[in-house]
Amino acid sequence: LVHVAGDEAKIVQTVGGTVESVLAEAGIQVGPHDVVTPSLSEYVGPDTEIEIVRAVPIRVTVDGGEREHWVVAATVAEALGEIGIELGPMDRVTPGKGTDVTPDMSVQVVRVTEEFIEETETLPFKVIRWAAPELEQGQTQVIREGQEGIIKKTVRVVYEDGKPVNRTIVASEVVQPVIDRIIGEGTRPPALYVDTPHGRYAYVEVMEMVATGYDPGPASTGEWSDGLTFTGLKAQRGVVAVDPTVIPLGTRLYIEGYGEGIAADIGGAIKGNRIDLCFDTYEEAIQWGRRTVKVYILAD
């Protein structure tokens, strides 16, 4: 009994000999890649069954090359095993491994691997502008230095035939936080300068005001002639009475024709753009009289 895979079984009567001679006598050709059981060199006996599995050609593309192979396997997976192609756990086979083998079919094996790598990413810091009233306009100062942030990432990289085809971040961790840089920008108006008989003074504002004079004695201050000003300073040359809504108390001044002064006193008649200058004597105050002068608000 001779059975050829895919064909009907055929009974062959013979007086003996090898499997090869029996097949030749029966006119059954065997290809070089066909699998014959028992082997062609074995002798047949009574009731010997001979089975022939026909090999078919397939083309396999794997590891950068394409080759033709003759196989007798029933499925793609069996064919690859027969050829000696080992598959990794992630390898992709087209058509699928369970597909039936057919003559001249094409099989493609894509080697798929993965690795996990550590990467770091640098995050830039921002520059924040901050108003700095202690600085003049146009001046800048670094209030706080910036620091770049650092993120550590674990990346899964998938390769197909040695080429990366997919990257996925599977974990990330901030190992250094971002610290923004702060730059102070001056908001104070720049100081101007005036040259006087007493020297050069830096000022931020100049006003035209009506200036009168007084002395600490009763001739000028009447019942309030205790020698002290509203702020508690001793009344003497250089003390100036002002309207605090116009010139804040404690402001350093330079008064045209008078010299340096400090806004340290007030007066009932001193309102708006009026000031009252303290002199050491009544005669000096009378001699000053009433004048319109330039009053410079000095820079600190």
152 to 119, 156, 166, 172: CA distances (angstroms): 6, 13, 19, 6
Q: Is the pLDDT of residue 67 over 70?
A: yes
In this predicted structure, what is the pLDDT of residue 1?
45
Whether 234 has a pLDDT exceeding 70, the answer reads yes
Residue type (1 letter), 89: P
pLDDT tens sequence across 133-182: 888 888 999 999 999 999 999 999 999 999 999 999 999 999 999 999 99
Q: Of 11, 47, 45, 44, whose CA–CA distance to 28 is shortest?
A: 11
What six digits make up the tokens of 43?
């002798």
Q: What pLDDT digit, counting tens, does each position of 168-217 carry?
A: 999 999 999 999 999 999 998 777 899 999 999 999 899 999 999 998 87
Q: Are 4 and 31 in contact (CB under 8 A)?
A: no
Average pLDDT score over residue span 257-283: 93
Q: Give how far Cα 225 sits from Cα of 44, 110, 232, 235, 273, Å.
A: 150, 107, 13, 9, 24
**Residue whose structure tokens are 């050609």:** 57
The residue-averaged pLDDT of 270-296 equals 95
- Using alpha carbons, select from 262, 277, 260 the residue that is nearest to residue 209: 277
Can you tell me whether residue 228 is helix, strand or coil?
Answer: strand
Nearest-5° Cα angle at 275, 274 to 280? 155
pLDDT-derived band at 7, boundaries 50, 70, 90:
low
